[in-house]
Amino acid sequence: MTLETTIRTTTTTTTMTTTTTTTMRGARGRDATHVARASSGGDDGEKAPFGYTRADVMLIGGGVTGAGFAAYYGLQSFGGMDATKAGNAVQLTFVLGLTLVWIASYVLRVFNKDMTYVKQLKDYEDAVMQKRLEEMPAGELEKMMDDLDQK
């Protein structure tokens, strides 16, 4: 049985990524590969979804601020409101709207189990299972692979 382990650690000022790949080749030529990966943020070669980079946050903040000013001046020009009423309407609308969007995004992340704690727990469980797999005797690994083939 061959056991190959590759560990790549990349460290920058804000991120640390560790990838462990274990490949076991049994006597009958079967391969079992497991990859465990722990990451603490940052850029690891994958493109982050919109809203997860500083530039995206600045863009969103600027867009919301610009929309607020546009609504304020639009209500004064086209809606015929005075400055105080236009300011109150825009403030109420934006605070209430942004609060509801924030709460909805939080509830959505909870239901999808996309929370930081859940991700950290999964990374920890993967690392523990990887360590157990690496420490398992070769005979026990072969027996486990035979049991998996029978099922």
pLDDT in tens, 48-97: 999 889 999 999 999 999 999 999 999 999 999 999 999 999 999 999 99
Q: How far apart are CA 69 and CA 2, in angstroms?
A: 65
75 burial type by CB count under 10 A (0-12 exposed, 13-18 middle, 19+ buried): buried
44 burial type by CB count under 10 A (0-12 exposed, 13-18 middle, 19+ buried): middle
Backbone angles phi, psi at 41, to 5 degrees: 80, 180
pLDDT digits (tens, 9 = 90+) for 7-27: 443 333 344 444 444 444 444
> What is residue 145's predicted lDDT score, i.e. its pLDDT?
87
Q: What is the pTM of this model?
A: 0.51
